[in-house]
């Protein structure tokens, strides 16, 4: 339940809304219970003493009850949705901090399940757990106080039963449901992952006639979900039945005590009736708490994953100079993996054109990861303008170094918005210049919607080569003084490749270009070429 | 329904027991033992009924969701990749996961509650009639307010709920898109802007949701009003009647008052379930747009095609993906005899991939005929077509699993030896051998942990394992370095022996692949040069 506390702490910003909702709900609850109490009392007093008690109070309570309930619903829901929206934003920010290098072994479906499903499961935390719990805390002394007139024994017995129904049973059912709640959160994420897998791989599924298998996989995950829901529902049903028994026992206690002061007892019975009605939902909320805690844990885990490289506590001044230097770098991705670099040293002066060549697995992309602070060397240093990257914040480094990766993502948006990601203030001529340099301008110009053409999920409305060139245009648009292009020509036909490489120099005047490639075509104008092999860089030509 | 009705009947009985006990106490200052024992027994019965009805509700909801989910997913899988051309995979996932979950309320709560909403109050009304006709009249009139108010509120709420569902699905697709591209966002330093944009979208969803709820809560408020009104009216009426000595026995008054909550309880459940139903209607409407159920197999016997010797022919085939962007294929004709290779060349966007997508059955041509061994491709059921073909695409999708399982995806019944043979032929073993767990190394979604070339080789291994007579290759060596490309082409050449191959590629090395070459420009063949460089 620690996790739920952490989530509540994150909702501090909405404290006013949450508190207002709580207050209104307490007023509405008081009016509702009071209404029943006064209604019963009216009859009791009329019979016993021949007086008509408080018809005005009845009307006032009735109105307060109706208006209060409506406002309560509005305000508590508004508060919840505001808090959940905040939580999603906080989650995304946390994810961005830890996933600069991509999701890695995390699955997009799982992250989505946390962002959507698990955050949604937390809506009950305030609405169905905290608000009724606060009501119960208020009701307990009220019940005992009002019943004291009937008899101390009766008042205490009813109080005890109320504690049982409102606090003990919920706590027990929360503990009992903790495991089932965890299973429910995992199972519902599993269903989302399986469904997303089937849709993401829809082409593979069709090509390999895997429809039946995919359906079976989704059904298996669904069966897990239904089993977890069934388990939870079993506990909820039991808790609800037990809570009802507590309420009935309390009414029985009030009835047994009625002989002594029947006039007050009539009101008391009505009071008990209404009071337990309000506490009735709590055991159910207890079962819900198990699920909410599991969901909270999943949300926190994903949002608070550590960044790949921790930023320095006291960052150094970002240097103006853009010399990029690798100085005796040793690096391996994981301790049990072979070393990628074993004393790599090279220096890339400002505004130079260099190429890094090497076969698959020589560490070309790792070099980019080190420069972008997606990884840190185990030994040696990477320096930007003479300052160790370890002393610079990652965001500042990434402002200076632009990057086109092998798997750069095209967003399901327009061409314009995909390009503007690299430079939000770019004007149309700048966008066209970048498209021109990436050899895709003529294709875009022929589109009826031009820059406002939708690219589709992952750029699927364009062919592989065209999508690649759009990503390339975006990288060229970036204002960073150093550009790392990882296989910029992959998927381009020979003609386009030559055209791109021969115009690259004009396109990026005054900037450092680091090209990572398997091979050279021969039209590149380069200042230096390194060949990566066996963890070192060998100068090939200059 | 029966359980619910029994619950109401028991509650009515309890109300009478309480009233009797209190009346006895008022009159004699003594406990009415019979009434108390009756109350206790009924309480036990009621707890049992609560337990049973909760459980049946869940079971009913689960069965319907299971059925519906299989149906919807089956339809989407049947529609195949065309379903993705109009909708984001996040949107489709939202339908299969969240919308069907939303329908639970319909089956688990709405259907039982809506039947009980009439019968339950009528039962209580009958009891009230027996106790005091005037009380019954008051209850009846107040109760009548509820459905009227609900109907008025419901008209607006249904439309709002539909729009809200649309917004929810869009937000989910957007989340998914941003989550997948998170690295791109962070590396361009745009995390804060995207977070802000997400906050705006999340807020919009909140506003839509509240718009739905504001109306839905009005129907709950009408219910509260009716219940409070009935209680106040009855309390004052009985108070006055007792004072005027028109009512000697308080039992009638007490039981009538205690019946008020029981009268409104089924209506309250109904109002809650009504919100479920609005929710469900929104969800169900979204499903109307889904592709229809797969038709039963065509009446004509599907042509079986021999496992060897596949001839492919295109006759004046036209295909337009998007009218605004002109035709992708514009009257294309060619023929590939059995066991021969056709190389499709041309710049990107020339229509190479469209040819392959037609042969995979992802899309149907707008006009013209595509035949496999003389049989029109549109007459082949998808499963028969996919049995004939192995495919390596431009962007192979790898699932989060081991390398071995990713290869086995092509043919789940393959033995370990066969998988290893395919891995060897596609040179997967070369790099897998360097990994700590070999072929059992886990890869992340989209092939994380593998380089682009390595992922491509896993896809090639799939094609080897598939062992189908028609091999469709769409830029199979796009991300490979020259040495690896040569090796892979070598393996592909071996794979091509005794098969019909269609290879789309602009790599110069691929053009060493022996076979006929067809140059495409804007969906048309420009020059077909026969080259035999075996």
Distance separating alpha carbons of residues A471 and A485, to the nearest angstrom = 11
Residue B518 binned pLDDT confidence (cut-offs 50, 70, 90): confident
- Report chain B's mean pLDDT, rounded to a whole number: 82
Distance separating alpha carbons of residues B4 and B56, to the nearest angstrom = 11
Please report the residues numbered 121 through 150 in chain A whose beta carbons come closer than 8 angstroms to any beta carbon of chain B: none
The Cα of B126 is separated from the nearest Cα of chain A by a number of Å equal to: 22
Average pLDDT over residues B223-229: 88
**pTM for this entry:** 0.86
Best residue of A61, A82, A202, A398 to probe chain B, by most B CBs closer than 10 Å: A202
Q: For residue B341, count CB atoms less than 10 angstroms from its CB and return exposed for 0-12, middle for 13-18, buried for 19 or more.
A: buried
Q: For residue B155, count CB atoms less than 10 angstroms from its CB and return exposed for 0-12, middle for 13-18, buried for 19 or more.
A: exposed
Q: Which residue of A has its CA nearest to B476?
A: A491
Could you report how far apart the first and last alpha carbons of chain B are, in Å?
77
In SS3 terms, A251-270 reads as: HHHHHHHHHCCHHHHHHHHH
Q: What is the pLDDT of residues B119-170, one digit of tens each?
A: 888 999 999 888 888 889 999 998 888 878 777 776 666 666 667 777 777 8
Instruction: Report pLDDT for B529.
Output: 47
Contact flag A96-B449 (C-beta cutoff 8 Å) = no
Tell me the CATH number of domain B67-288, given options 3.40.50.720, 3.30.565.10, 1.10.287.10, 1.20.1560.10. Answer: 1.20.1560.10
Same fold, B67-288 and B312-529: no
The Cα of B428 is separated from the nearest Cα of chain A by a number of Å equal to: 13
| Domains annotated on chain A, with CATH | 2-177+231-303 (1.20.1560.10), 324-541 (3.40.50.300)
Does residue B531 have a pLDDT over 60? no
Q: Which of B58, B188, B478 lies nearest to residue A490, judging by beta carbons?
A: B478
Instruction: Report pLDDT for A233.
Output: 87
Instruction: Report pLDDT for B112.
Output: 77
Domain ranges (residues) in chain B: 67-288, 312-529
Tell me which chain B residues have a C-beta less than 8 angstroms from the C-beta of A519: 481-482
pLDDT of chain A, 542 residues: tens digit per residue: 788 899 999 999 899 999 999 999 999 999 988 888 888 888 888 877 777 766 788 888 889 999 999 999 999 999 999 999 999 999 999 998 888 777 777 888 898 889 888 998 898 899 889 999 999 999 999 889 988 888 888 899 999 999 999 999 999 988 888 888 899 999 999 999 999 999 988 888 888 888 889 999 999 999 999 999 998 888 888 888 999 999 999 999 988 887 777 777 888 888 888 888 888 888 888 888 888 999 999 999 988 888 888 888 888 888 888 899 999 999 988 887 778 888 888 999 998 999 988 876 678 878 888 999 888 999 999 999 889 999 999 888 988 998 888 777 899 889 999 999 999 999 999 999 999 988 899 889 988 888 999 888 888 888 777 888 899 899 999 889 999 998 888 767 777 788 888 878 777 778 899 998 877 777 778 888 888 877 777 777 54
Instruction: Report pLDDT for B167.
Output: 76
Sign of CA dihedral B433, B434, B435, B437: positive
Alpha-carbon A285 to chain mean position: 24
DSSP-assigned letter for residue B305: -
Helix axes B2-28, A15-49, angle to 10 degrees: 50
Instruction: Report pLDDT for B302.
Output: 47
Contact flag B39-A248 (C-beta cutoff 8 Å) = yes
Contact flag B228-A466 (C-beta cutoff 8 Å) = no
Does residue B504 have a pLDDT over 90? no
The Cα of B198 is separated from the nearest Cα of chain A by a number of Å equal to: 7
Contact flag B66-A457 (C-beta cutoff 8 Å) = no
Instruction: Report pLDDT for B155.
Output: 64
Does residue B294 have a pLDDT over 70? no
Contact flag B436-A337 (C-beta cutoff 8 Å) = yes
Superfamily for B312-529? P-loop containing nucleotide triphosphate hydrolases (3.40.50.300)
Pairwise pLDDT comparison (B293 vs B43), residue with the higher score:
B43
Query: What is the residue-wise DSSP string for B92-147?
Result: HHHIIIIIHHHTHHIIIIIHHHHHHHHHHHHHHHHHHHHH-HHHHHHHHHHHHHHH
Distance separating alpha carbons of residues B484 and B477, to the nearest angstrom = 9
Distance separating alpha carbons of residues B138 and B125, to the nearest angstrom = 10
Contact flag A262-B349 (C-beta cutoff 8 Å) = no
Does residue B117 have a pLDDT over 50? yes
* Residue pairs spanning A and B at CB distance below 8 A: 458
Tell me which chain A residues have a C-beta less than 8 angstroms from the C-beta of B347: 465, 493, 495-496
DSSP-assigned letter for residue B506: -
Q: Which residue of B has its CA nearest to A195?
A: B93
**Matching residue, tokens 């090939």:** A540
Least confident of A281-290, B356-365, B499-508: B499-508
Enter the tokens of residue B362.
Answer: 């992802």
Tell me which chain B residues have a C-beta less than 8 angstroms from the C-beta of A203: 81, 360, 362, 393, 397
Q: Which residue of A has its CA nearest to B51?
A: A237
Q: Which of B66, B188, B393 lies nearest to residue A421, judging by beta carbons?
A: B188
Contact flag A69-B412 (C-beta cutoff 8 Å) = no
Contact flag B172-A116 (C-beta cutoff 8 Å) = yes
Contact flag B177-A412 (C-beta cutoff 8 Å) = yes
Residues 6+ apart with CB under 8 A from A199: B76, B83, B84, B89, B92, B93
Tell me which chain A residues have a C-beta less than 8 angstroms from the C-beta of B195: 89, 92-93, 96
Buried-state track B192-214, b at ≥16 Cβ within 10 A, e below 16:
eebbeebbebbeebbebbbbbbb
Contact flag B98-A116 (C-beta cutoff 8 Å) = yes
Q: Which residue of B has its CA nearest to A111?
A: B179
Distance separating alpha carbons of residues A398 and A368, to the nearest angstrom = 11
Does residue B300 have a pLDDT over 60? no
Contact flag B232-A92 (C-beta cutoff 8 Å) = no
Contact flag A39-B90 (C-beta cutoff 8 Å) = no
Q: Which of B191, B220, B507 lies nearest to residue A73, judging by beta carbons?
A: B220
A424 touches chain B (CB under 8 A): yes
Does residue B533 have a pLDDT over 50? no
Instruction: Report pLDDT for A349.
Output: 92
Q: Does the ipTM exceed 0.95? A: no
Residue B530 binned pLDDT confidence (cut-offs 50, 70, 90): very low
A39 touches chain B (CB under 8 A): yes
Residue A324 contacts residue A384 (beta carbons within 8 Å): yes
Does residue B253 have a pLDDT over 70? yes
Does residue B305 have a pLDDT over 70? no
The Cα of B17 is separated from the nearest Cα of chain A by a number of Å equal to: 10
Q: Which of B187, B254, B349 lies nearest to residue A463, judging by beta carbons?
A: B349
């Amino acid at each position: 339940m620690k996790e739920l506390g952490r989530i509540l702490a994150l909702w501090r910003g909405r404290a006013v809304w949450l508190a207002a909702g709580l207050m209104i709900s307490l007023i509405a609850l008081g009016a509702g219970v009071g209404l029943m109490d006064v209604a019963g009392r009216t009859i009791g007093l009329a019979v016993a003493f021949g007086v008509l008690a408080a018809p005005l109070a009845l009307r006032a309570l009735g109105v307060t009850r109706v208006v209060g309930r409506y406002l309560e619903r509005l305000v508590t829901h508004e508060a919840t949705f505001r808090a959940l929206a905040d939580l999603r934003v906080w989650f995304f920010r946390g994810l961005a901090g830890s996933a600069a290098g991509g999701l890695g072994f995390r699955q997009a479906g799982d992250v989505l399940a946390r962002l959507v499903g698990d955050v949604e499961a937390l809506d009950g935390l305030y609405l169905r757990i905290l608000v009724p719990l606060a009501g119960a805390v208020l009701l307990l002394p009220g019940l005992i106080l009002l019943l004291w007139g009937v008899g101390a024994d009766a008042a205490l017995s009813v109080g005890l039963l109320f504690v049982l129904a409102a606090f003990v049973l919920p706590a027990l059912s929360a503990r009992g449901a903790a495991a089932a709640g965890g299973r429910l959160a995992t199972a519902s994420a599993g269903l989302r992952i399986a469904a997303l897998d089937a849709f993401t791989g829809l082409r593979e599924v069709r090509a390999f006639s895997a429809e039946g298998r995919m359906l079976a996989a989704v059904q298996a995950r669904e069966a897990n979900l239904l089993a977890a829901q069934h388990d939870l529902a079993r506990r909820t049903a039991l808790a609800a039945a037990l809570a009802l028994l507590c309420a009935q026992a309390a009414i029985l206690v009030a009835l047994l005590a009625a002989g002594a002061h029947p006039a007050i007892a009539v009101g008391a019975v009505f009071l008990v009736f209404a009071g337990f009605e309000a506490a009735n939902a709590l055991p159910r909320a207890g079962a819900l708490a198990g699920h909410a805690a599991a969901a909270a844990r999943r949300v926190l885990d994903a949002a608070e994953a550590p960044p790949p490289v921790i930023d320095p506590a006291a960052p150094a001044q970002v240097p103006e100079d853009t010399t990029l230097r690798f100085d005796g770098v040793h690096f391996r991705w994981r301790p049990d993996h072979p070393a990628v670099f074993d004393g790599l040293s090279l220096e890339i002066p400002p505004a130079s054109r260099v190429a890094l060549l090497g076969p698959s697995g020589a560490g070309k992309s790792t070099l980019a990861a080190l420069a972008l602070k997606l990884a840190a060397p185990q030994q040696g240093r990477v320096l930007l303008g003479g300052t160790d990257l370890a002393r610079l914040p990652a965001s500042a480094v990434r402002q200076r170094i632009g990057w086109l990766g092998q798997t750069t993502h095209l967003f399901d948006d327009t061409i314009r918005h995909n390009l503007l990601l690299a430079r939000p203030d770019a004007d149309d001529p700048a966008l066209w210049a970048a498209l021109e340099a990436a050899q895709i301008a003529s294709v875009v110009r022929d589109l009826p919607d031009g820059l406002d053409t939708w690219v589709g999920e992952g750029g699927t409305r364009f062919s592989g080569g065209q999508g690649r060139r759009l990503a390339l245009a975006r990288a060229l648009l970036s204002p960073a003084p150093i550009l790392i292009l990882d296989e910029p020509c992959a998927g381009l036909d020979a003609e386009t490749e030559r055209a791109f490489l021969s115009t690259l120099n004009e396109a990026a005047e005054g900037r450092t270009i680091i090209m990572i490639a398997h091979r050279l075509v021969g039209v590149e104008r380069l200042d230096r070429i390194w060949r990566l092999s066996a963890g070192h860089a060998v100068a090939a030509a200059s | 329904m029966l359980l619910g009705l029994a619950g109401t009947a028991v509650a009515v009985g309890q109300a009478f027991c309480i009233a009797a006990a209190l009346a006895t106490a008022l009159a004699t200052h003594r406990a009415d033992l019979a009434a108390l024992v009756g109350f206790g027994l009924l309480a036990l019965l009621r707890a049992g009924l609560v337990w049973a009805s909760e459980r049946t509700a869940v079971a009913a909801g689960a069965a319907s969701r299971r059925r519906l989910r299989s149906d919807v997913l089956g339809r989407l899988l049947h529609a195949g990749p065309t379903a993705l051309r109009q909708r984001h995979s996040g949107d489709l996932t939202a339908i299969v996961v969240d919308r069907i979950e939303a329908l639970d309320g319909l089956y688990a709560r709405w259907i039982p509650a809506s039947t009980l909403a009439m019968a339950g109050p009528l039962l209580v009304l009958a009891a009230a009639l027996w106790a005091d006709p005037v009380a019954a009249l008051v209850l009846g009139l107040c109760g009548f307010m509820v459905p009227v108010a609900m109907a008025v509120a419901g008209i607006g709420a249904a439309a709002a709920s539909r729009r809200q569902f649309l917004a929810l699905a869009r937000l989910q697709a957007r989340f998914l898109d941003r989550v997948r591209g998170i690295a791109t966002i962070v590396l361009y330093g745009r995390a804060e802007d995207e977070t802000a944009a997400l906050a705006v979208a999340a807020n919009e969803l909140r506003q839509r949701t509240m718009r739905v709820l504001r109306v839905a809560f009005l129907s709950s408020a009408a219910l509260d009003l009716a219940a409070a009104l009935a209680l106040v009216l009855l309390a004052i009426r009985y108070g006055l009647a007792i004072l005027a000595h028109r009512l000697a026995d308080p039992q009638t008054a007490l039981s009538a008052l205690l019946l008020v909550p029981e009268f409104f309880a089924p209506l309250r459940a109904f109002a809650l379930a009504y919100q479920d139903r609005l929710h469900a209607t929104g969800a169900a409407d979204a499903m109307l747009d889904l592709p229809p159920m797969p038709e039963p197999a065509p009446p004509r016997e599907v042509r079986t095609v021999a496992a060897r010797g596949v001839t492919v022919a295109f006759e004046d085939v036209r295909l337009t993906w998007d009218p605004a962007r002109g035709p992708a294929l514009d009257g294309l004709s060619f023929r590939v005899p059995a066991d021969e290779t056709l190389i499709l060349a041309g710049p990107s966007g020339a229509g190479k991939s469209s040819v392959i997508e037609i042969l995979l059955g992802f899309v149907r041509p707008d006009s013209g005929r595509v035949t496999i061994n003389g049989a029109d491709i549109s007459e082949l059921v998808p499963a028969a077509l996919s049995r004939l073909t192995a495919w390596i695409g431009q962007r192979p999708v790898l699932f989060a699993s081991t390398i071995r399982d990713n290869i086995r995806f092509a043919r789940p019944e393959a033995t370990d030896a066969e998988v290893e043979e395919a891995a060897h032929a596609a040179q997967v073993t070369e790099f897998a051998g360097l990994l700590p767990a070999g072929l059992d190394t886990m890869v992340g979604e989209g092939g994380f942990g593998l380089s682009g070339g390595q992922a491509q080789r896993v896809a090639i291994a799939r094609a080897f394992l598939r062992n189908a007579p028609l091999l469709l290759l769409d830029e199979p060596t796009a991300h490979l370095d020259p040495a690896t490309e040569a090796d892979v082409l070598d393996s592909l050449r071996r794979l091509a022996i005794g098969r019909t191959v269609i290879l789309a590629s602009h790599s110069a090395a691929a053009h060493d692949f022996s076979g006929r070459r067809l140059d495409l420009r804007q969906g048309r063949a420009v020059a077909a040069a026969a080259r035999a460089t075996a």
